[in-house]
Structure 1
Amino acid sequence: MTRFRWFVIAGWILLAAVVVSTAPALESTQDNSEFLPDHYESIQALQLQEEKFSDAFSPGAILVIEREDGAALTAEDQAEVGTFAQELAPELGTDTFQPAVFFQDEQGKPNLSEDGTVLFAVIPLADGATGYDTQAFDDGRDLREEIDELTGDSGLEVRATGAVLQGLDSQESSEQTLVIVGIATIVLIVGLLALIFRSVLICLLPIVTVGIVSMIATGAIAWANDLFDLKADASVEQILVVVLYGVGTDYILFFLFRHRERLRQGAEVKDAVVHSLDRAGEAIASAGGAVIVAFMALVLSSLSIFRAIGPALAIAVFVTLLAALTLVPAVVSLLGRALFWPSKSWQKEPKHGTFVKLGRAVGRRPGVVALVSGGVMTVLALFALSFNPSFDFNSSLPEGVESTEAMETFQANFSAGAAEPVPVLVDAEGADVTEAQLGEFKAALEGARGVDAVAGPVPSEDGSAFQYYLTLADDPVSDAAQDNVAGPIRDTAHDAAPEGTEAYVGGTPGIFADMSSAMARDYKVVFPVAAGVIMLILALLLRSLVAPWFLMAAVGLGFAATLGLTVIAFQNIGGEPGLIFMLPIYIYLFVTALGTDYNILMIARLREEAREGRDPHDAASQAVTHAGPTIGAAGIILAGTFASLMLGGNTLIVSMGFALAVGILIVAFVMSMFFTPSLTSLLGHVAWWPGHGDEARDDAHGHGPAGGEPRDGDEVPAGVDLVK
């Protein structure tokens, strides 16, 4: 890297330019049906509806109409609404909306609330429109502009909500969150690096490096999504920001700490770069490999949301890993000692009394330390048992947006389920179904728990299928609606379906119910596979069959403690009815993968100390003393980048940011710094069976009693002296 540094730097810049100019845009979807395989009931209902009822009515937008003074709507006001609907309809012949505005029911009566203060109108989706794509959101913006122009000074307030408008507000909220997260992440990284290194150029190094990496990774992810038809959800870009900057800064820290240590020993810049890459490179590569494997395990998920985000994050980490092993050394070699400007304190070896004391405590009483640190995580882990998964995406919308306020008004004045009737499809292909049977089926549906009203049946053109619409007692996107559809409503539909027919319950609550089933399956598949492959990496890396077991057990305990603490913060203290259903997957992946990183750093330092002839207790003491500051600095920066997600004002992202931030702090400061070294100390020589990599030896790098190098109390990143 030192010899070809200019070529390496130029190559990365050129690659970034090519990717930016040729790669497609990274797009996301909010259509939850796109996340499920075809064998789920909600998707089968959707397919039957598209096949047999191509002209089926599906609400795309709901207009909530009130007087600006809050009084009851007069006959003149209702006539004004009729005129408004006639003028608006011709403007709605778009890819998303049909040119129609319905403000009356089937009997011609206005959709008026009991007190007469609120009227609602429905705008249907156009044929073939999902209402969740980019064009739909553009049409939603145009709809609001048309409404503003047409209402003018009429004295009426018209607010738009429904699937399209809620998706639009969610997207705009995500875009605002992305800006806030990006700014907060950069400010945090610059601030922490300034405190650690007091160098202008080092503060800029991760910003510039990750900026280049981000352009390449985003383009590569977009290509992969197009090539494999992957559907990423709207949160992927926000997570990418923190992953790229958080993980990228960690890897840069591992390299810079070792580089600064070597320079303090009197080496020339080029020699220090080569030495640091040799020592830190394997640690960075193994840590990155564990992260990539954990993310790639998501391709086994039955939900396309995870099958898309898994490879996306794996690609991002892979590109970051390559940059850490090539671009960063090339830039450091080019800048030389000017890298640390204007600070001169880097030339002196600082003393860290705190980590010396912590190291002594671990070495002196490893049993107590293991019991206390493990006990704390166990107590927190118990609260994970009360985790309640929620599929209510709309609750994550920030307060004050138009679609949220309009929907609250709608639900306060009309049946909550009227916003989105749930379709029930009866496939009667080859069956002779009578009107009496269809009536009995309708009556059964009306008696199901959670159903307010049933409309239909509507026969298909060929008479081989029938469609009903359920008005639920609860908001269709609520957890209560999902539970009712998954349980009594589907049970009733299946049992009451006329002989020879098959009934399917679809709609948004049906999709959420099926996603819940898919998640339960994924927990049983993705978690064990990711853990197994990471254990294999650890076994190969450490030449041990014992260490991977207790390391992964420690990481698993860290995962459960993280979920438990999040439950305490949001469900027990915050009063939230539940947490977003995908949270355990994200915690597992980030805490498992990144927690394994820190464990690798600590366990390798423990082995290095043991190789120098120290007994297990003394090795644990020295490992915490010398590796602790590195893990602490990396953990604080990475936790801080995840914590920046909490600034977005979106409940989903806030809970995710909190969980990932506290998870990193737990694995860095409780698990890696105390639990792992104390447990390793207690196991002693057995921890390295059968390879016994802790045995003292001499090698070309001067390891072992005969060739131990001078120590740097705060910079030696654990894990850099791995088996060669």
Structure 2
Amino acid sequence: MFGKLGKLISGRWKTVFIGWLIFFAFIQWVSPHWKEVALDGEFDHLPKEMDSIQGEKRFAEAFPDDLLASSIVVIVRRENGELNDNDMAFIEEELRTRLETILADIDDVVINEQLAVAEANLGKEEFARRKSSLEAELVRRLEIGPIPESDITQITSIRSPTDDLIGEMLISEDRQAALVIVGLSEKFLEYGNRDTIQRIETLIARPGGELFEEELIPDGLDLQLSGTATVGRDMLEARDESAAATETWTVGLVILLLILIYRAPLLALIPLITVGIANQVSLSLAALLSQFNANDANILFGFRTFVEMHVYMTVILYGAGVDYCLFLIARYKEELDAGADIDQAVSEAVGKVGSALTASALTTAFGIGMMVLAAFGKFRDAGIGIALSLIVVLVASLTLTPTLLRLFGRFAFWPHIRSERITATAGWISGSTLMSMLIELNPLSNGWEKVGQAVLNHPRRLWGWTMALMIPFAAVGVLSWNHLSYGLMSELPSDDASVVGAKAIQGHFPEGTAGPLTVLLANDQMNFNSSDAKEKIAELTAILRGKSDELNIADVRSLSSPFGSHEPSWEGLSGIPLALKRQAVNEKTKEYYVTQVEGLSGDTTRLDVIFNEDPFSKNSIARLDGVEKVIRDFFSKQDEPLKATHMNFIGSTANIRDLKTTTDRDRIVIDVAVLSVVLVILWILLRRFSISLYLILTVFFSYFVTIGFTYVLFWFLESTGEFAGLDWKVPIFLFTFLIAVGEDYNIYLMTRIDEEQQRRGPIEGIRVALLRTGGIISSCGIIMAGTFSSLVLGGTLKGMQQLGFALMFGVLLDTFVVRPILVPAYLVMLHRGDFGKWTWLLGGGTVPTVAEPKSPATDLETPVDNQLQNG
């Protein structure tokens, strides 16, 4: 098959080349821009049946005018004393007024046109009920740009210390700080929030902001910005910066490595062109495929792109693609050195390495593709996207790379156009001038013979000492496997606006103030406006407050206690009787805490729980579990119909908990699936189940060693001493990539071992195979690790840096420890019969016995082998 492909490409290389150019231009033309289709939210990828997702849907139905999905929080503080009357006047007369101006400074004609569209789409009754909210939303949208007719969302509110309902709660107990909260209907990880946040930053910045330049900020007053939407904005910007920097570092490192390896600019350019085109085609195909699922078409498991997928696809594709090109070009150079002309060399190179490259790529693609079984959308879609990119780069390596080699001809080797002719032995990897350079560049350049001899002489000792050094880190990896961080702010640099603002808020308010937990209680047989229901809510509120120390609750607000632990101030609105004030507040309370939607008849109410902890932290998840248990126990003891009350939890903490639940399940499913499918592939290729199982176990073991070492390193580097654990994405991406890539290299080694054992015997064949493949595999490992290091060099998010380091370390560990020591040492022990009666069961005795040479050197010293050893 690949022989025919090689002849076809060699004979019609111009047609293939032009075909690639046409296809590249076409796919770029028809596919949408990546950001147009990439989902930017984190929790949009959760399964729809998760509690927080269902709760958000129910909440939107019950409280359609309060679609608070995220918030921008401005904290106004005076560190050296309490806020004075002048400060409070500034908050209301200047800050709040300017914030309202940001939302209202717009052309009335455009508003009326868009309101007409909304009225036509919603109907008169629904439009009349939502008109004020739509107007506010249109103000915001027109600040951003044109308004799609189907994209009308809402700005929910601006709340400040003078609000009748919650104003007192926005002033700290020490009276040194106050909050102004801008509610948004879009979730916190949405690009649509960025313009609003930027406008507010421009307003309050010191120095340079509008209020500062106009000298309106009282002396000694500090303004900072935070809130969940600001955290989301900083996360998105950090991801974008990391993606751009990572791609730049990836390309730069690949160029450097290729120039060092090939020492010929044009030859280094060939893999770069191949992989660069394959990368753009892969991204465009992914964006195009995701468009088909915009209306839940469920093509390819409902595949959708997301922001970080661009980085993962690029890094993996460059690492694997350059490896594929390296093998193909090495064989091409070998054929030229053996006397073939350019057409013959291209044809033979494709024919002889095509099957090996295809097996390698499909093993990696199938392994990573098992992420399709994940319930969390990001894992599932990443598996599809990366597997797709690997198939594309394989096709490009086998078709586009040969056409470029044919196009450049012998000029590809400039300035070394005339090359030494070498007679090479058969096999898909063997000696050539290029291979000699690869071995010379290897950190163990002249050590592979020594390593192979040491494995033959002391396999048990070498295996034992290597395992002894690795086991402590593997133990740490096992123990820390579930010690993961879900805290978003802990990923951000300490000088980001949201982090600085959050620290300012935490100095005066509970940490959970900016992201309260909302408990939604629904019962279609109840009316929570009734006095009996209100008494039960008051009882539940009291129980939660009674457990505030145990659950680390700062406050609970509900229908019976709308101000929480704060006593309302009735000093405002002078001249109005106190009874009327209370009545007005009670009416607002009912609107806020009990649904007023016609048809629901007050069957849904809400409680707001504020924790003393960061709403994104893992500890808050445990607190949420405790709150849920208390509420479930309370309703389980009630009589019908109250006993049938259904509950949902909404907010950042609820989303994080559902994220943890989903990804914990996914890790187990994907780990088992990846191990199983790679084991089956190895078994099919090697036809020895026991040895295939051992190869899987070595990579599985190296995974835990990598997790342990990465955990220890970042724990040591944590300057604050409060290491929350590795980012939650690290274990599953590391496992999938490491198992797939590790077994990819195992296939290279075992294929050569089988070949050499047939010629030299079971023991000597292992040593020769290790010598023959040491340079090429380790060079490929260095290239792969180098591309992964771009995540460390380019990433500003700690999670991306952790993943990049873990992948880099894991590949190097696999390349320079597992492959040259643990695998061949075990095979030597196995074929020497060191396992006694277990030898046959473990896979020994399956290689035909031939006479072992008395001296390993004498049988190996051929011109080709000397060339391999000495470069």
Scaled by the length of structure 1, what TM-score is found? 0.91
Structure 2 SS opposite 1:168: helix
- Alpha-carbon shift at residue 384 of structure 1 (Å): 0.6
- Does the 8 Å contact 1:89/1:100 carry over to 2? no
Matches within 5 A, 1:54-93: 54-56=64-66, 58=68, 60-66=70-76, 72-83=82-93, 84-92=95-103, 93=136
- Alpha-carbon shift at residue 460 of structure 1 (Å): 1.2
Scaled by the length of structure 2, what TM-score is found? 0.76
Matches within 5 A, 1:27-426: 27=35, 28-56=38-66, 58=68, 60-66=70-76, 72-83=82-93, 84-92=95-103, 93=136, 94-95=140-141, 98=155, 100-104=157-161, 106=165, 108-109=167-168, 111-126=170-185, 129-147=186-204, 148-150=209-211, 152=213, 153-155=215-217, 157-228=222-293, 229-343=302-416, 347=420, 349=433, 350=436, 353-387=446-480, 388-426=483-521
Distance 1:68 1:231 in 2: 47
Unmatched runs of 5 consecutive residues or more in structure 1: 697-704, 717-724
The answer on 1:510 being equivalent to 2:609 is no
- Does the 8 Å contact 2:224/2:504 carry over to 1? no
- Does the 8 Å contact 2:621/2:654 carry over to 1? yes
Q: Taking structure 1 as reference, are residues 652 and 339 closer, same or farther at Cα in structure 2, changes over 3 Å only?
A: same
The answer on 1:653 being equivalent to 2:664 is no
After superposition, what is the alpha-carbon deviation per residue over 1:578-635, rounded to whole angstroms, capped at 9, x for unaligned?
A: 11112111111110010011111111111111121x1222111111111001011111
Q: Taking structure 1 as reference, are residues 110 and 372 closer, same or farther at Cα in structure 2, changes over 3 Å only?
A: closer
Matches within 5 A, 1:683-702: 683-684=830-831
Q: Which protein shows a greater Rg?
A: 2
- Does the 8 Å contact 2:702/2:818 carry over to 1? yes
- Alpha-carbon shift at residue 426 of structure 1 (Å): 0.7
After superposition, what is the alpha-carbon deviation per residue over 1:661-688, rounded to whole angstroms, capped at 9, x for unaligned?
A: 0011011111112211222233339699
Q: Taking structure 1 as reference, are residues 528 and 75 closer, same or farther at Cα in structure 2, changes over 3 Å only?
A: same
Distance 2:44 2:156 in 1: 26
Tell me whether 660-669 or 564-573 shows the greater mean CA deviation.
Answer: 564-573
Q: Which residue of 1 aligns with 2:25?
A: 17
- Does the 8 Å contact 2:40/2:191 carry over to 1? no
Matches within 5 A, 1:597-608: 597-608=744-755
1:494 alignment partner, one of 632, 649, 663: 632
Task: Give the residue type in structure 1 aligned to 2:538.
Answer: G
Structure 1 SS opposite 2:607: strand
2:604 alignment partner, one of 465, 474, 477: 465
Unmatched runs of 5 consecutive residues or more in structure 2: 1-8, 104-135, 142-152, 294-301, 421-431, 560-592, 636-641, 832-838, 851-858
Tell me whether 626-635 or 264-273 shows the greater mean CA deviation.
Answer: 264-273
Q: Which residue of 2 aligns with 1:437?
A: 536
Tell me whether 656-665 or 186-195 shows the greater mean CA deviation.
Answer: 186-195
After superposition, what is the alpha-carbon deviation per residue over 1:73-109, rounded to whole angstroms, capped at 9, x for unaligned?
A: 4322221221221232142232566274212152644
Distance 1:170 1:97 in 2: 22
Distance 2:418 2:80 in 1: 68
Task: Give the residue type in structure 1 aligned to 2:158.
Answer: V
Q: Which residue of 1 aligns with 2:825?
A: 678
Distance 1:9 1:709 in 2: 38
Tell me whether 262-271 or 80-89 shows the greater mean CA deviation.
Answer: 262-271
Task: Give the residue type in structure 2 aligned to 1:120.
Answer: L
Q: Taking structure 1 as reference, are residues 179 and 712 closer, same or farther at Cα in structure 2, changes over 3 Å only?
A: farther
Q: Taking structure 1 as reference, are residues 421 and 620 closer, same or farther at Cα in structure 2, changes over 3 Å only?
A: same
Q: How many residues align?
A: 702
2:687 alignment partner, one of 530, 543, 549: 543
Distance 2:16 2:841 in 1: 41
- Alpha-carbon shift at residue 20 of structure 1 (Å): 1.5
Distance 1:107 1:369 in 2: 69
Structure 1 SS opposite 2:507: helix
Q: Taking structure 1 as reference, are residues 143 and 607 closer, same or farther at Cα in structure 2, changes over 3 Å only?
A: same
The answer on 1:3 being equivalent to 2:62 is no
Q: Taking structure 1 as reference, are residues 68 and 471 closer, same or farther at Cα in structure 2, changes over 3 Å only?
A: closer
- Alpha-carbon shift at residue 123 of structure 1 (Å): 0.5
- Does the 8 Å contact 1:35/1:231 carry over to 2? no
Q: Which residue of 2 aligns with 1:456?
A: 558
Q: Taking structure 1 as reference, are residues 179 and 108 closer, same or farther at Cα in structure 2, changes over 3 Å only?
A: closer
Structure 1 SS opposite 2:19: helix
After superposition, what is the alpha-carbon deviation per residue over 1:35-90, rounded to whole angstroms, capped at 9, x for unaligned?
A: 22233222222222122122236263333344799765432222122122123214
Tell me whether 242-251 or 517-526 shows the greater mean CA deviation.
Answer: 517-526
Distance 2:485 2:382 in 1: 20
Structure 2 SS opposite 1:426: strand
After superposition, what is the alpha-carbon deviation per residue over 1:648-673, rounded to whole angstroms, capped at 9, x for unaligned?
A: 23211111111010011011111112
- Alpha-carbon shift at residue 190 of structure 1 (Å): 1.8
- Alpha-carbon shift at residue 425 of structure 1 (Å): 0.8
Distance 1:301 1:478 in 2: 23
Q: Taking structure 1 as reference, are residues 689 and 5 closer, same or farther at Cα in structure 2, changes over 3 Å only?
A: farther
- Does the 8 Å contact 1:118/1:413 carry over to 2? yes
Tell me whether 382-391 or 364-373 shows the greater mean CA deviation.
Answer: 364-373
Q: Taking structure 1 as reference, are residues 109 and 443 closer, same or farther at Cα in structure 2, changes over 3 Å only?
A: closer
Q: Taking structure 1 as reference, are residues 5 and 70 closer, same or farther at Cα in structure 2, changes over 3 Å only?
A: farther
Structure 2 SS opposite 1:326: helix
Tell me whether 442-451 or 336-345 shows the greater mean CA deviation.
Answer: 336-345
- Does the 8 Å contact 1:450/1:484 carry over to 2? yes
- Alpha-carbon shift at residue 273 of structure 1 (Å): 2.2
The answer on 1:534 being equivalent to 2:669 is no
Q: Which residue of 1 aligns with 2:702?
A: 558
Structure 2 SS opposite 1:121: strand
The answer on 1:617 being equivalent to 2:763 is yes
Distance 1:12 1:711 in 2: 39
Aligned-pair identity (%): 25
After superposition, what is the alpha-carbon deviation per residue over 1:198-240, rounded to whole angstroms, capped at 9, x for unaligned?
A: 1111322232222211111111111222323545443222222
Task: Give the residue type in structure 2 aligned to 1:163.
Answer: T
- Does the 8 Å contact 1:366/1:617 carry over to 2? no
The answer on 1:580 being equivalent to 2:727 is yes
After superposition, what is the alpha-carbon deviation per residue over 1:309-345, rounded to whole angstroms, capped at 9, x for unaligned?
A: 1111111111111111111122112222222222469
Task: Give the residue type in structure 1 aligned to 2:730.
Answer: L
- Does the 8 Å contact 2:203/2:210 carry over to 1? yes
